[in-house]
A and B are shown apart, each in its own frame.
Chain A
Amino acid sequence: MPSLGTSFGRGGATTFQQDLQNADCIVIMGSNMAENHPVGFQWVMEARERGAQVIHVDPRFTRTSAMATKHVPLRAGSDIAFLGGIANYILQNDLYFREYVEHYTNAPVIINDEFADTEDLDGLFSGWDPEEGEYSVESWMYDGMEIHGSAGQREQGFKPTKGEASGHGGHGGGLLHGEPPAEDRAMQHPRCVLQLLKRHYARYTPEFVAETCGCSVEDFVQVCETLVANSGRDRTSAFVYAVGWTQHTVGVQTIRSAAIIQQLLGNIGRPGGGIMALRGHASIQGSTDIPTLYNILPGYLPMPHTESYGDLDRYIEANTSPTGWWGHFRAYFVSLMKAYFGENANADNDFLFKSLPRIDDDNSAYWTVEQMLQGKVKGYIIAGENPAVGHANGKAHRLGLSRLEWLVVRDVVEIESASFWYDSPEVESGELEPEAIPTEIFFLPAATHTEKDGSFTNTQRLLQWHWQAVEPKEDCRSELWFYFHLGRLIKQKLADSEDERDKLIKALRWEYPTHSGIQEPDAEAVLQEISGQEIESGKFLSGYPELKDDGSTLCGCWIYSGCFKEGINQTARKKPHWEQDTYVADEWAWAWPDNRHLLYNRASADPDGKPWSERKRYVWWDAGEGKWTGLDSPDFEEDKPPSYVPPKDAKAEDAIAGDHPFVMQADGRSWLYVPQGLEDGPLPTHYEPHESPFGNRLYSQRANPRRQQNKDLAEDPYNPVADEPGADVYPYVVTTYRLTEHHTAGGMTRSVPYLAELQPQMFCEVHPDLARDVGLEHGGWATIYTSRSAIEARVMVTDRMRPVRMDGREVHQIGLPYHWGKRGLITGDSANDLAHMALDPNVHIQETKAFTCGIRPGRRPRGADLPRFVAELREQARSRLEASVAEPPMSGRTSRTPSAPGGRREEDPHVEPEEARKPAQ
């Protein structure tokens, strides 16, 4: 969540679903909340019942649109244009919440005069290095301020090696002083953020939006009017998004666009406002807080890498923000080391910092698959994931898995990622022969959530405990059991090792009480360690302000500190909201940080600490008591008065003024403009998707220049795009999604009869006009194809799919749910087999929400005919492209990838002038 992290300070939803009932307008975009978060959607319905406007902006008319007061169809992948248009509407008509913007955001801050906008450089920001394909960010900084590790990309400024820089959490911070050196409160200075924004968005007129997004000017303006009319002192509007925004090569910047709108309208930190980030499934928030990611440690502490740091002090120095709550970085890090290593980590050995593993490369999921395909990965453990179905380009994943030495799959059923070696499209086509696959595959049955104790961290940062209901059957075991005993056995095997590399494992504290016949570790003991304790007394910590940097406290994740305060499992509290005083219901489970439900809630009061209005009161300054009070735990130091002005050399939170609510940011303000922390620019800019039938109406730079592409990967060929010859082989826009009835890659639902029968077959959704043009019959079969693969699906002809009109032509959008695979009660082709692996540069996420495809009636070819069919179409596209290119530059690499299409031609001269003339690499 670097977008929310860099904008506001924490990489999580700023609000909670129950608070949506207070909204006067809810914009749901990039989310199909009614279908994918049906339980939380009750609060949207509640808001609607109270008279709120519910606007759904989405390429498809979904069950969410059916409940909305307004549905606006748009072209998949054009979200930034739409949102930028809203920002422009607000700025051009001076409709922003002036007092909020002036005091709480960085709008008045003056930016470095070397900064150049995409409007100046035809789609690139200043600092672009065409050799490296990366930005250097010095010119993006605040005027008169030097760069400092911070925010999402702490490593920025350290010249990291490829890809590893991407922080996944991105808390804010990172400026050397609390207050920016130069600002213009009147917000008139030509280089102040507000004026930069105005110029940046000036061309995002309603007409531009309509032409780019394929919606009507009227619809667009109506959304702007509704949003503005329902924001201000007395009214608030909320944004809701999910993976419909994230799964793009510009996903992070799309969310940033919403952050800008909500700052301009003064909707952050206030009831009924905020940005509700809906997560893909249970505990996805938890899996970034206590990460399953390679580049951060628990609590968003950056993973050290090989080149940047020497000793602990340098690491701490590089990551500590002098001002704001990141000023206590050493305490967070040292307490984590104490949780990991106990007595073995102490001040004399730098708390074992030097022995910690280092990142030396991109180790994200897609990059690892690329390495697998090249035979560079020996072993792989898959748990809670089904990449053979759930990841973009399933074929590349299955081929990658077939080149491992060993593979461990832990799941509740035998998923496709475990069965690919004998049951997959590649086995059918003869591309894989079971006998010839060297991979040794271990399938380990997993216990379900009803068979174990533990907690989920839900979409709104709420840790909710669940108890075991039944013993797991036979060999099924919990994740906790698996990793605890794996660690125990590894430690046992290494007990006598003198190797330096084994030192860290030997030093691990690995003592958890176990119970029952299977020796299940005590999950509460783990939660206690996460919450933190004073080592000497064993006293449970009540929150992160109690963490010490001298090694006297331990804490497994500083932002979770206090979830076991007073020795009570706070996450196990289950008092329903109707038995509590307010709808905030702070006695139900526990929200990080500090059981705070609505983040940055100091902003619900005006600079003087009074509620902006009676109707929207939430947290305010009680002058009599001399403290902040209200409906929620104040996200501010309880006794810091609104009038507080930090002394000159103040450090950490003491450097945050009393009227600056964004306490994680070094300057205490939310960031309209992000001077550092993002890979692809300080402001969101409209780019076309990696694969799109259209060129960029704004710039000759068509797509995100910083997106990650697998240019040399034969298994991931791209479709020709825009006006390239051959693009007409794949003329339609395709978007993938989920249905209420199934869960992600389907492992947990295709095997359940009651769910399988509710959506029993893979289908595609098409508009009646497309069906007529192509000859598709409702209820019949269609074959959908890209450069990667072809799949078949039953045809659902429906008005709910909308064609869009652009550049004088109508372009159809095809909808594909992605739940199916070869296993389970109901089987079908996987939509993700069609998708490519070009990625967002900040979080390495795939672009499955907008790419291109072709469609024709009938079932797909079987067996070896399938890859042949796909290759023929690729050749057809490529030959058209080649015919159009004068030079005959068949490079050596091309022969290695005989089936690659011509789609790699990068159209923009900024990026790689030589590549641009090559038909293929």
Chain B
Amino acid sequence: MSVVETKRPDGWESYGDAQKERVGFFTDTSVCIGCKACEVACKEWNLIPEDGRVWTGESYDHTSQLGANTWRHVAFVEQRKPLQALLEAPPAPGDRTAPSAAPGGDGSTALRWLMESDVCKHCTHAACLDVCPTGSLFRTEFGTVVVQQDICNGCGYCVPACPFGVLDKRHLPATTDPPPAILGRKEDGRVWKCTLCYDRLKGGHEPACAKACPTKSIQFGPLEELRERADARLAKLSAEGWNGAQLYGRDPEDGVGGFGAFFLLLDDPEVYGLPPDPVVTTRDLPEMWSNMLAAAGAMLAGVAALTLFGSRR
């Protein structure tokens, strides 16, 4: 069976009775105020090192991207667009509780500042899992994807496998005790990423970022419930004429079988630096393997034939 044919997270069902309800994040950017409490709460809970003090000039985003030392990242996008598109039907005459729809004379409403807290997507079909040779990356009983730091040997196969660029090696001296077995203390070298606060989940708590979010932009819960909530939210925003509102990663039919951590965006994904149509990079692996096997078989047959016939000569 091809990995993309199931809508269940790969490996999740192997838990049998120990399997828990699949949980995840719904990150609703329409209420994100860009406070970065998620970034800080994540770092504090997970003891993630500082990621460099670099002023980027990218609006208020000086973190730039997800990485080994940043598991939540808030993107800031400044746009010359109104937050809400003009509604088709203007407010009923006499309804003075809403402002008249026209933007200010100087076009002052034609500006918006999008903020989005990005995170590991915990894909239904996770290529990082597929390529990990040590079994360090695994599917948890909650349906999430976690790196086991005591097993990771820093091979880095998962890094290019992730369609979102989430997986990343830590190029800092190791601070854990004992230091990574093969790598030593000089450079950590292992891959680190969001665990969806696996330790907190086991203790019955929500992840640190969701706990810290003051506006419920980051919502944690059973994935099915989050998807329903997101659908209702999108319907509301669409009715209100919000510009570009769309769900990203909610669809179980997409290239990674849907995200465990999905988003409501106010513009196309690429505006936020997200791939518009992510595909699990190992999708074609079985086919590739069978092709390769066929080729190898043919080659072996050829070699065998050569040997056979050669020996006869």
Q: Is the CB of A229 within 8 A of B36?
A: no
CB of A140, distance to nearest CB on chain B (Å): 37
Q: Is the CB of B33 within 8 A of A758?
A: no
CB of A477, distance to nearest CB on chain B (Å): 25
Whether, in the assembled complex, A99 has its beta carbon less than 8 Å from a beta carbon of chain B, the answer is no
A235: contacting residue among B39, B97, B102, B115, CB under 8 A: B97
Task: From known contacts A63-B34, A65-B113, A778-B57, infer whether A800 and B106 are also in contact, taking CB-CB under 8 Å.
Answer: no
Whether, in the assembled complex, B62 has its beta carbon less than 8 Å from a beta carbon of chain A, the answer is yes
CB of B92, distance to nearest CB on chain A (Å): 13
**How many B residues touch the partner, as a band?**
35 or more
B97: contacting residue among A24, A35, A73, CB under 8 A: A24
Nearest residue (CB) in A for B102 is A218
Give the interface centre of B54, B55, B216 by most chain A CB atoms within 10 Å. B55
With A and B bound together, what is the CA distance between A46 and B115 in angstroms? 18
Nearest residue (CB) in A for B69 is A757
Q: Is the CB of A225 within 8 A of B100?
A: yes
Nearest residue (CB) in B for A223 is B99
CB of A799, distance to nearest CB on chain B (Å): 6
Q: Is the CB of B57 within 8 A of A794?
A: yes
Q: Is the CB of A757 within 8 A of B31?
A: no
Whether, in the assembled complex, B202 has its beta carbon less than 8 Å from a beta carbon of chain A, the answer is no
Q: Is the CB of A761 within 8 A of B55?
A: yes
Q: Is the CB of A42 within 8 A of B216?
A: yes
With A and B bound together, what is the CA distance between A753 and B69 in angstroms? 12
With A and B bound together, what is the CA distance between A72 and B34 in angstroms? 21
B90-105 residues at the A interface, CB under 8 angstroms: 96-100, 102, 104-105
Q: Is the CB of A38 within 8 A of B33?
A: yes
CB of B32, distance to nearest CB on chain A (Å): 9
Q: Is the CB of A66 within 8 A of B113?
A: yes
Q: Is the CB of A42 within 8 A of B215?
A: yes
Whether, in the assembled complex, A796 has its beta carbon less than 8 Å from a beta carbon of chain B, the answer is yes
Map CB proximity to A onto B25-45 as digits: 1 under 8 Å, 0 otherwise.
000000101111101100110
With A and B bound together, what is the CA distance between A24 and B62 in angstroms? 36
Whether, in the assembled complex, A760 has its beta carbon less than 8 Å from a beta carbon of chain B, the answer is yes
Task: From known contacts A754-B40, A800-B113, infer whether A759 and B99 are also in contact, taking CB-CB under 8 Å.
Answer: no
Q: Is the CB of A758 within 8 A of B62?
A: yes
With A and B bound together, what is the CA distance between A476 and B289 in angstroms? 64
With A and B bound together, what is the CA distance between A41 and B83 in angstroms? 19
With A and B bound together, what is the CA distance between A235 and B97 in angstroms? 9
A799: contacting residue among B55, B78, B105, CB under 8 A: B78
With A and B bound together, what is the CA distance between A753 and B100 in angstroms? 46
Q: Is the CB of A760 within 8 A of B50?
A: no
Whether, in the assembled complex, A448 has its beta carbon less than 8 Å from a beta carbon of chain B, the answer is no
List the A side residues contacting B108 at CB < 8 Å. Answer: 71-73, 215-216, 219, 802
Q: Is the CB of A825 within 8 A of B53?
A: yes
List the B side residues contacting A235 at CB < 8 Å. Answer: 97
Map CB proximity to A onto B193-228 as digits: 1 under 8 Å, 0 otherwise.
000000000000000000000111000000000000
A222: contacting residue among B34, B60, B100, CB under 8 A: B100
With A and B bound together, what is the CA distance between A779 and B108 in angstroms? 25
CB of A53, distance to nearest CB on chain B (Å): 6
A-B contact count (CB 8 A): 138
A66: contacting residue among B34, B43, B63, B214, CB under 8 A: B34
List the B side residues contacting A71 at CB < 8 Å. Answer: 108-109, 111
Whether, in the assembled complex, B7 has its beta carbon less than 8 Å from a beta carbon of chain A, the answer is no
Whether, in the assembled complex, A604 has its beta carbon less than 8 Å from a beta carbon of chain B, the answer is no
Whether, in the assembled complex, B186 has its beta carbon less than 8 Å from a beta carbon of chain A, the answer is no
Map CB proximity to A onto B116-127 as digits: 1 under 8 Å, 0 otherwise.
000000000000
List the A side residues contacting B31 at CB < 8 Å. Answer: 45, 49, 67
A34-62 residues at the B interface, CB under 8 angstroms: 34-35, 38-39, 41-42, 45, 49, 53, 61
Whether, in the assembled complex, B112 has its beta carbon less than 8 Å from a beta carbon of chain A, the answer is yes
List the A side residues contacting B310 at CB < 8 Å. Answer: none
Task: From known contacts A72-B104, A216-B104, A753-B50, infer whether A53 and B78 are also in contact, taking CB-CB under 8 Å.
Answer: no
CB of A909, distance to nearest CB on chain B (Å): 36
Task: From known contacts A71-B108, A760-B55, A800-B111, infer whether A226 and B34 are also in contact, taking CB-CB under 8 Å.
Answer: no
Task: From known contacts A61-B113, A757-B53, infer whether A41 and B33 are also in contact, taking CB-CB under 8 Å.
Answer: yes
Can you list 16 pairs linking A and B with CB atoms under 8 Å apart? A38-B35, A41-B214, A45-B33, A63-B33, A63-B34, A66-B83, A66-B112, A69-B83, A69-B84, A72-B104, A216-B108, A219-B108, A225-B99, A739-B60, A763-B55, A798-B78
The 6 closest A-B pairs by CB, nearest first: A216-B105, A229-B96, A761-B55, A66-B113, A760-B53, A219-B104
Other contacts beyond A39-B214, A53-B99, A69-B83: 7, CB < 8 A: A65-B113, A69-B84, A740-B35, A754-B39, A756-B50, A799-B111, A826-B53
